[in-house]
């Protein structure tokens, strides 16, 4: 039982990831070129919510922070949506492998379903839009 609780706490800590769609073409870069920023959503299962009720939200957030650090990430922000039983936030990872590792670990725990979305700063979005190329429908090629 203790092992399950420990695994559950660790899994819930991974909730911050909430970003299941990691795309090599849409990498979110923010503070530095070496890190990728992701918006995450962690939807708690019934077991996950029961586990969260056993600890303080600040204690849980501290655990999430430690978990992200264990896979090379850095939690920027974490919020709990009590209306949807989910956690949201932003996390920086050194690469997509670290993000995928965190997501797989949390989802395997069964306490939450985490999805990730890569995000860009306004400056990086400007760079991406500046590189846009004109396209034509396939039938006009």
Note the Cα 74 to chain centre separation in Å: 10
**CATH among 3.30.460, 2.60.40, 3.30.70, 3.30.1120 for 2-132:** 3.30.70
Per DSSP, the three-state class of 130 is: helix
Q: Residue 56: its pLDDT value, please?
A: 82
What is the full per-residue pLDDT of the chain (141 aa) written as tens digits? 444 433 343 444 444 333 333 333 333 333 445 579 999 999 999 999 988 889 888 888 999 999 999 999 999 999 999 888 999 999 999 999 999 999 999 999 999 999 999 999 999 999 999 997 888 888 877
Q: Which DSSP string do the residues of 113-128 spell out, in sequence order?
A: EEEEEE---HHHHHHH
* Cα separations in angstroms, 40 against 24, 56, 81, 121: 17, 21, 13, 16
Q: Residue 62: its pLDDT value, please?
A: 93
Q: Residue 14: its pLDDT value, please?
A: 40
Beta strands in 3-141 (DSSP E): 36-44, 74-81, 86-93, 112-118
Helix, strand and coil percent figures for the chain, each rounded to 5: 45, 25, 35
Per DSSP, the three-state class of 52 is: helix
Exposed e or buried b per residue across 22-36, where buried means at least 16 C-beta atoms within 10 angstroms of its C-beta: beeeebbbbeeeebb
């Amino acid at each position: 039982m203790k092992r399950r609780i420990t695994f559950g706490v660790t899994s819930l800590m991974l909730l911050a990831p909430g970003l299941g769609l990691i795309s090599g073409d849409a990498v979110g870069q923010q503070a530095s070129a070496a890190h990728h920023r992701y918006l995450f959503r962690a939807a708690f299962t019934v077991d996950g919510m029961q586990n969260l009720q056993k600890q303080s939200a600040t204690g849980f957030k501290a655990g999430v922070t430690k978990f992200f650090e264990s896979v090379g990430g850095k939690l920027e922000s974490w919020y709990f949506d009590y209306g949807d039983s989910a956690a949201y936030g932003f996390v920086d990872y050194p690469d997509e492998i670290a993000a995928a590792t965190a997501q797989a670990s949390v989802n395997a725990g069964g306490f939450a379903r985490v999805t990730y979305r890569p995000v860009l700063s306004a400056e990086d979005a400007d760079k991406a839009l500046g590189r846009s190329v004109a396209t034509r429908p396939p039938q006009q090629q």
